[in-house]
Amino acid sequence: MSTPLDSPDQGGAATLDRELEELLKEEHFEPGDHERFSHYVKKEKILESAITGKPVRALCGKKWTPGRDPEKFPICPTCKEIYESMVG
């Protein structure tokens, strides 16, 4: 009798490992001030990231997995500019 782990193409831990590897390949660490700012992301994407652990993409294009208190950092000027152009 086989189990889901015996067939890696049918889901289970092997699928999760492959998805994680793909995400890490997509992750681009850009030098600069991105880490010094809070970024604008849709609230539902933040919640989804908290549940799944998948990274989010800010309006400015920064991609990361949220995990710090955004209140402790100034707002990203690029995100703010993009947001204001969308709203007003």
| pTM of the predicted structure, to 2 decimals | 0.59
End-to-end Cα distance, the chain: 62
pLDDT at 20 (0 to 100): 58
Side-chain-facing half-sphere of 23: CA atoms under 13 Å: 16
pLDDT at 35 (0 to 100): 75
**Residue 58's CB: how many other CB atoms inside 10 A?**
21
Show the beta-strand stretches assigned E in 1-88. 56-57, 63-64
List the chain pLDDT tens, one digit each, 88 residues.
Answer: 545 554 445 556 666 666 656 655 555 545 455 678 999 999 999 999 999 999 999 999 999 898 888 899 999 999 999 999 998 7
Describe the chain by its helix, strand, coil percentages, rounded to 5.
55, 5, 40
